[in-house]
Chains A and B, each alone.
Chain A
Amino acid sequence: MSENKIKLISVESRKGGVGKTSIALSLARILSKKGKEVIFLDFDLSGTELSLATKALEQRSTWANSFNYVKHKNKNGKNEEINLVDLFELYMTGQIPLGLKWIESNPINQHFTLQYNKINIFSSGLSRSDNEREYVSLKNPSILYDDLHSMWFLEMIKTLLDGARQNLSDEKELVVIIDNSPGYSGMEPVVEDWLTDFGPDRAKFLFVSSSDVQDIIATRESIERVHQVYRDKWDTSRVFSSIYNKDVNIEVDEYPRFRRFFNRLAEDNETKSKQRSKSKKAKIFQDDCLSFYQPSANLGESYCEFPEKYIHLIFNRIPHFISTDFSEYLKTVLIFQDKSFINIVKNANNRKIEFDGVVHSLYVSSTFIDKIKQGAENINNEYHEYVTSLQINQDSFSDAKQNEYFIAINRILLFDEYLYAAYCGIEGDTFFNFIPEDVFLIKNIERFSSIIGGNALVIKRTNIAQTAVKEMAKIAVEAYSRLVSPGLLNELMNHLNIREKGFGFSSENEYSKVLNYIANIFAIQFGIIKLDITDKSIMERAASFLKLHSILLMETIKREKIEGHIVEWLSNIFHRKVDKLNYELVEFYIKELHIQGLTLGSFMEYYSVIYDLQRRITFSERDAEFIKNIVIAKLSDKLSDEKAESYIKKVVFHSTSSKEIDDIIAIVKHIPDSFSVDPLFIVQESVKNIIEVDWEIQK
């Protein structure tokens, strides 16, 4: 069988909870739907048992019957699902057969069988004792921290996969997805070393990162590490082919990995010559995995030069506090990039969903309607009807339907993985090549991702092996340049003290200066840098961000076609603010509002709350003052929610509708009682919203 019909994908992340498993499962599903045979290995040996998650997923119609849990006979002779940790214990004592068979039907009573067209799951986790009360620590710590055991563990996996491969018919393709534990521990070093043996045409790496600056940096380093391993191995193989069995001497840089890999290539060659003489069939996963690096292989150069061909990154879980700007920016970029993208913009403050009707309709028609036409299974009827009605009414999104849409969108998100699969349109071997040059797919589903138990695939990018932060900054510049008018961009440039020529930049230097500058702002915004009024540089950077923020808000106001006199008033405010914005102003905000110890991110969230209030109800300076007082009173625990509500109802009499007043009350309630513990605040707020939204769904 051709070696090229096997692919291995390692899904990794530096931090836990960034959505590794969900993405890995989505990928498995996509590939399974595309006709590949999929084996899913849960290498998060000390983490949550994968089968618990997949069984929960199976309760949903879209995931029903997606999985096959590979079984084996336990000590009592009964069939039970394979747990890699237990299996390893049996393997160590030589008690298991390792020949996996492939079958078509449901293998209820069969052990060691894989099923076609299913995601074949090898779960893992700590075993429990018979009374299910205590975890029994068997080999777990050893596997994680001991060279020999990790080596044997991998040996077992290789034997398993080799059996699976040999029993698979020739026309089928096998994909092995490895879901790793977070960080660079446990099996990961061994897995990376193993997978890079195969060469980038057969083994791929998928990294998942959050937008946290710490995570981005760590992920970048991991990506560079994997790339470096490939490069080193490739370079070593070239040296090897130059000098193996030849009487030439060339200068060699002997670093440890070079030594190890060189020696392995030499040993591999020795083994092969032995095997030829004995005509023994090579086991691909066991022995013959280095063919990519053999002198006859001409694939290397084209792969090793381009890490984006085998390393990919997904930015996931963009935090809530940057949603306003980010979604604006994402929308612009995405509409520009791809017309069929759905962008769900959720207003951070009143939980009202706004979306672009046209875009939404296009999305629906391009995915679900097609699926319906094809007679796809597993889409429930109720949803079919809804989608069909959406298509009919795509040009008339009345206000009355908004609430319905809101619920519907939650439903759509329940089908998230399926949508993703449909959207990607992955074909054949090019399953990683679907990502175009730049940003490809962004789904900003924010907090909803937590409700559905899935994750938002937010940004996919190629070329990330260089510097992720700078790349993000580049996106930002591109985004801002599309978002704002030429005049405003000019103004932005002026604020950043950068001369500007037309739309472009006069030199590479200027461009990279902007990149660096915005990268810094992003770093503060995403990161954990605390605002410190004694640190001038941080305050100045914060002020710069406020400038950008204000400029963008102004632009939004203009585009929203708000009544002329309001625009005028807001323009005055913002122009004044933009003129005066400096670190003293940030200092003023912090002091005035008694909000110490905040990151800029949450400060901005807070700032936008006030802005939102002002924007909605402020027609005069007096009202602005009123809002500020409410906020301050609330923060200093002098005003309860109830009192604030009655206050607003009495005072804000000039709002256009009772709905507006309700909005204002909701916003005031949204202001937390204390900002002192910043991360906690974000978590609490997120959880609160999740609970509320969840309740609405049930209703």
Chain B
Amino acid sequence: MTNSLTYQNFTLDGYYNALRNGNLKNVSVGLPFFKIDKNAYNYFLSNGSNVNYSEIRKRLDEKTYCQFRSSITFCRCHEVYFPAYRFLINECINDEWLSMVDWHKAFHRDHLIHQPLTAYVVQELLTGNVFKEILGMGDTDETLLDRIAKITAEDGDTLYLREYYQAMCGNTDLFLRNQCSRMRLKWLIMDTFLLAALFHDLGYPFRFLGTLREKLDLQRKHQNYWYLGVNEIGKVFNQRLVLFPLRGYQKPDITTPDSWGQRVCKLIEQSMAKTHGLPGALSFLYMTDILRSFHDLSDYPARRFRIEWAAMAILMHDMAGIYAEIDKDNHITQKHDYLRLSLNRDPLSFVLTLADLIQDFARPSASFSNTSKHSVSVAFPKRCAGVTLEWDSGTRTLGIYYKYRNSSDYARNRNEFVPRNQILFFDPQVGYLDYQDASILNVKLCSEKI
């Protein structure tokens, strides 16, 4: 086979184009995903916080503010997916853009901008030409989405998904091989991807959920999983898909030793402390659950399945730190091998994690400087200008190139981000992402100065 190179670019312009063309918004086929308790919804609506946009505007330059507003609008368009976001988003904005942006903390959280961009990357990966080349070997037009639909419907490793769906609605019609079922399955996957990508960093501001909870729960006496403790989390979510990966993607059966449950609890404890994946997934389910109409199962199970599946991906996209440990010299030690993500077993988490890694472009980062003795100015430079995927079919190597204009940003990425992530995520033997299923031999992270 001759060597040929295929490229795919991810930029802010590309994202704006996707927004403009409606490609990102028009995926959804079955809304809303669950029947909502209108009473609870309205209660939250009248008791939530408001956002002071004029205050935010003071803190941002023109371009960043526009990017910020477009992201907010995009997120608000998807409130129907995840209605609780309507209330949560205000807390997030107040936290990320008002409370934290001062000279005390140079690190600026920008997840409201990062999440829609990740949704864009996911969408591009699913239908883009790089994965067409990787999967189809240049001979077929099979996209990553086609492959994932096939894996979900047919592969032995994903049997747990089909069984879970069957337990929800009593049939597995969605996974039949006919054209109708396959089309619908693909739309469901696209929806779930978008949902997971849009809310995957929900765990970051989880402690602000506490604020929200206090405001709301004191009066409504909603059960709050947050302080139930690890064992309770294990019990409460025992049946839910979200905890399947922690048990090696399996359901407990009658021969399951009791000690395994304790190991899961231990894992939950670690994940709660160290990651934003599990808090995010649980918050996601929690906020969904409190808004679900009580004892009303008249909605469509395929719609609810999206929520469960997306929660699992939200959990797994940030479990690399639990899966393995990496020391100062970038030596990796595998801790929980069954958490390793592979395309064939957990396609959603695999692609979301990859997309999260790729999405480093156009993220504004606060930079402070003293203008005088008594004043400080803040700017929001975008460090990474774009990311390019390069597929070499000869060596079967996927290159991920981060492009920088500024030398110091370039140096920081090259010296800190790339070496660590190269080992943690893409080590061919023990990296968090097991890409062998996708017929990739090697993945190479690179930093480029442009």
Q: Which A positions have Cβ atoms within 8 angstroms of B?
A: 91-94, 142, 146-148, 151-152, 240, 243-250, 252, 254, 256, 259-260, 262-264, 266-267, 270
Compute how far the CA of A633 lies from the CA of B302 in the bound complex, rounded to whole angstroms: 79
- Assuming the A-B contacts A92-B39, A142-B45, are A246 and B178 also in contact, with contact meaning beta carbons closer than 8 angstroms in the complex? yes
Residues of chain B within 8 A (CB-CB) of A243 are 178-180
* Closest Cβ neighbor of A247 among chain B residues: B178
- Assuming the A-B contacts A142-B45, A243-B178, are A256 and B183 also in contact, with contact meaning beta carbons closer than 8 angstroms in the complex? no
Compute how far the CA of A304 lies from the CA of B302 in the bound complex, rounded to whole angstroms: 31
* Closest Cβ neighbor of B187 among chain A residues: A259
CB distance from B305 to the nearest CB of A (A): 13
Question: What are 25 inter-chain pairs, A to B, with CB distance below 8 A?
Answer: A92-B38, A93-B39, A94-B39, A147-B31, A147-B79, A148-B36, A148-B41, A151-B32, A152-B38, A243-B178, A245-B180, A246-B179, A246-B180, A247-B178, A252-B179, A252-B183, A254-B183, A256-B22, A256-B27, A262-B183, A263-B30, A263-B187, A266-B184, A267-B300, A270-B300
Could you tell me if B179 and A250 are in contact, using CB atoms closer than 8 angstroms?
yes
- Assuming the A-B contacts A148-B83, A151-B32, are A249 and B179 also in contact, with contact meaning beta carbons closer than 8 angstroms in the complex? yes
Residues of chain A within 8 A (CB-CB) of B30 are 260, 263-264, 267
Residues of chain B within 8 A (CB-CB) of A142 are 45
Compute how far the CA of A92 lies from the CA of B36 in the bound complex, rounded to whole angstroms: 11
Could you tell me if B32 and A148 are in contact, using CB atoms closer than 8 angstroms?
yes
- The proximity string for B residues 279-302 relative to A, scoring 1 for CB distances below 8 Å and 0 otherwise, is 000000000000000000000101
Compute how far the CA of A91 lies from the CA of B29 in the bound complex, rounded to whole angstroms: 27
Could you tell me if B42 and A93 are in contact, using CB atoms closer than 8 angstroms?
yes
Compute how far the CA of A142 lies from the CA of B30 in the bound complex, rounded to whole angstroms: 22
Main secondary structure of the interface of A (DSSP, over half): helix
Residues of chain A within 8 A (CB-CB) of B36 are 148
Q: Which B positions have Cβ atoms within 8 angstroms of A?
A: 22, 26-32, 36, 38-39, 41-42, 45, 79-80, 83, 173, 177-180, 183-184, 187, 300, 302
Known: A92-B38, A243-B178, A247-B178. 11 other contacts (CB 8 A): A142-B45, A146-B79, A148-B36, A151-B32, A243-B180, A244-B180, A256-B22, A259-B27, A260-B30, A263-B30, A267-B302
Residues of chain A within 8 A (CB-CB) of B28 are 260
Residues of chain B within 8 A (CB-CB) of A259 are 27, 29, 183, 187
CB distance from A267 to the nearest CB of B (A): 5
Most buried by B among A244, A245, A266: A266
Compute how far the CA of A65 lies from the CA of B320 in the bound complex, rounded to whole angstroms: 74
Residues of chain A within 8 A (CB-CB) of B29 are 259-260, 262-263
Residues of chain B within 8 A (CB-CB) of A270 are 173, 300
Could you tell me if A92 and B179 are in contact, using CB atoms closer than 8 angstroms?
no
Residues of chain B within 8 A (CB-CB) of A248 are 179
Residues of chain B within 8 A (CB-CB) of A91 are 38
Residues of chain B within 8 A (CB-CB) of A146 are 79
Could you tell me if B184 and A245 are in contact, using CB atoms closer than 8 angstroms?
no
* Closest Cβ neighbor of B25 among chain A residues: A256
Compute how far the CA of A470 lies from the CA of B69 in the bound complex, rounded to whole angstroms: 42
* Closest Cβ neighbor of B28 among chain A residues: A260
CB distance from A424 to the nearest CB of B (A): 41
Compute how far the CA of A260 lies from the CA of B28 in the bound complex, rounded to whole angstroms: 7
Residues of chain A within 8 A (CB-CB) of B173 are 270
Compute how far the CA of A256 lies from the CA of B22 in the bound complex, rounded to whole angstroms: 9
Residues of chain A within 8 A (CB-CB) of B302 are 267
Shortest Cβ-Cβ A-B pairs, 9 listed: A256-B26, A263-B29, A259-B29, A92-B38, A249-B179, A147-B80, A243-B180, A243-B179, A260-B29
Compute how far the CA of A105 lies from the CA of B179 in the bound complex, rounded to whole angstroms: 57
Compute how far the CA of A264 lies from the CA of B179 in the bound complex, rounded to whole angstroms: 16
Compute how far the CA of A42 lies from the CA of B30 in the bound complex, rounded to whole angstroms: 29
